[in-house]
Amino acid sequence: MFQRAKVTAAMSQELIDELTDRGRRDLSRLRMDDLETEVYELVDAITRRTVRGVLEEQVEACEEMPHCPQCGRELDDKPPEKKTLTTDRGEVTWNQPVKRCSACRCDFFPSGPGVGD
Amino acid sequence: MEATCTPRVERKVVAAETTSSSREQASEQLQDLADLSISGKRCQRIAQRVGQQRVEEREQRLDQYEALPLPQQREVPADAPPGGWDHRVAVVMVDGGRAQLRDERWGQPRAPGEEKPRWWRESKVSMVATFLRQSHASDPLPEVPENLLDPLWLIPRINEIKAAKGGDSAAREIGNSPPEEGFPSLDDRSQENADDRDPVRRWSPEPLVRSVVATFEPYDKLGRLAKVEAYHRGFTAAGAKAFVGDGLSSNWKIQQTYFSDYTPILDLLHAFTYVYSAAGAVAVDMEECWQLCKTWITWTWQGKVELVIEALDSWIERTSHVATLETLGESRGYLHNNRQRMRYDDYRRRGLPITSALMESTIKRINRRIKGSEKFWSDGAEPHLQLSADKISETNPLASYWKKKAETQTGKRKSRAKA
């Protein structure tokens, strides 16, 4: 956490470099409205990406369910399911792991009183 | 499949839904103010879900209170706000708004000769509030304030109450038939944006903190909800308590059942409405009407309603015109039935509020979202009403709701079967 100030400074500098084309962009005619739009679009995109990354890490860390709670059989892996979340900075789509019990024909995924429920 | 919203987005949706006049407007607000693209229908669905959870919380709170032994119900709970009751009065006000609610008749063909169905139902609202109080040895303001004797100030307000109430609702205020509608309202600016031009504020105690409960269920349920709210606000310990409402019999049933130790007070402006109607019925012209009105208003203000009733009796004896008799009888009945709640001189001496203007403005705010000739509610009515009440409440129950909700969203999630 103590790194935050450092990270913020470094990221801001990266964004400034990107927006100013490392000093090569002519900013003399840049209107405030355009400046805000560009900055917020970029920052929002980063925010969405960060939220997605943290959510995926959170899913990685959640409790594994190796066996079906109904019949006790081992669960099979299924391809992850795409989930969409409306955040304050736009929609974030992330992959949610899914397990399946072929005997019960039931899919299991990390949920419960999680985000947005 | 519809995307899930983060709690942060949900909070914004609920804020927009409760402050807009429609779901479409809420959606526009979110777009304009928060750059959020959420359709009106989705806004409504989110608000309905959150509102339903709030209704469930409310019911749970009610059950918990009613399960308490009686002596405990009379105590001040641990969660009551700290602070004493010096120069404070605990006030409960009750009133009704309106909304159109669909029922099983919706979409059904009408039988031959069957009347067009009416969808209007009453939203029952109660305000539980604290006011500043200053008691006096005698009535601090025995003379009627100038504005109340100014026809340009008073008559528009009276007309507004009369227009909003409608004919059969007015009859219910006098008689004992069950209430269904009636939504008197005053200009909310007179209370909410009080300034030097606002004379109402000068002779009314200053409101401090209000919380609002509301339901489409019967009036008794409203009384129980208000009782619970008053309990959690620590009103049991208050030295001065008042219950203010219009003449609707259900209001006073709530007062007698749940707030019997509160001083019952009829809203002054409602009393004036009936005084004005009677004066208008007997006077030959506007000048005479206003002169009569001034005298009767002065008596009413000074707590001498018996004099007004005597004057009306005298007019009734002298009149044979049927319509006039009807109006006089209506006004007389109203004033007679409420005379014990019209001791305005004494209430002012004790520093109690004598108008329900703050309640009327609360109803207006709720009606903004709920009421409309083009708005028809089904399951969402009660949840939306709950959210509207929460939003107006200065005790901020929604903040506790979001906080509690956030506590359950820890990220420690177990796998579960897909729904």
CA atoms within 13 A on the CB side of B358: 25
Residue reference for tokens 């401090």: B208
Asked if the structure places residue A15 within a domain, the reply is no
Show Cβ contacts of residue B102 under 8 Å, excluding neighbours closer than 6 positions.
B119, B376, B377, B378
Selecting from B34, B36, B416 the residue whose C-beta is nearest the C-beta of A111 gives B416
pLDDT exceeds 50 at position B170: no
CA distance B263 to B141: 20
CB contact under 8 A, B4 and A115: yes
Comparing CB atoms, the residue among A58, A109, A115 nearest residue B415 is A109
Q: What is the mean pLDDT of residues B23-45?
A: 94
Q: What is the DSSP letter of A67?
A: B
Which helix (H) or strand (E) segment holds residue A5: the answer is helix A4-20
User: Using one digit for the tens of pLDDT, what is the confidence trace for B58-70?
Assistant: 999 999 999 999 9
For β-strands A106-110 and B241-245, DSSP reports them as unpaired
Do the domain assignments include residue A80?
Answer: yes
- Complete edge-to-edge strand list for the sheet that includes strand B4-5: B4-5, A76-87, A90-101, A106-110, B415-417
| pLDDT given for residue B377 in this prediction | 85
Residues of A in contact with B38 (CB under 8 A): 86
Strands B376-377 and B88-101: parallel
Structural domain spans, chain B = 7-70+396-405
Which residues of chain B have a CB within 8 Å of the CB of A110?
413-415
* Cβ-contact A56, A28 below 8 angstroms: no
Q: How many domains does chain A have?
A: 1
* Residue at B70: amino acid letter: L
Instruction: Look at residue B177 in the predicted model and tell me its pLDDT.
Output: 35
Give the pLDDT confidence of B8-29 residue by residue, as tens digits: 999 999 999 999 989 999 999 9
Contact flag A87-B8 (C-beta cutoff 8 Å): yes
User: Which residues in chain A are closer than 8 Å to B409, comparing Cβ atoms?
Assistant: 113-115, 117
pLDDT in tens, B227-278: 999 999 999 999 999 999 999 999 999 999 999 999 999 999 999 999 999 9
Range of the domain at A82: 31-108
DSSP assignments along B218-245, one per residue: -HHHHHHHHHHHHHHTTGGG-S-EEEEE
ipTM of the complex: 0.77
In this prediction the pTM is: 0.83
For residues B225 and B223, give the distance between their C-alpha atoms in angstroms, rounded to a whole number.
5
3-state secondary structure B90-106: EEEEEEEEEEEECCCCC
Distance CA B161, CA B183 (A): 8
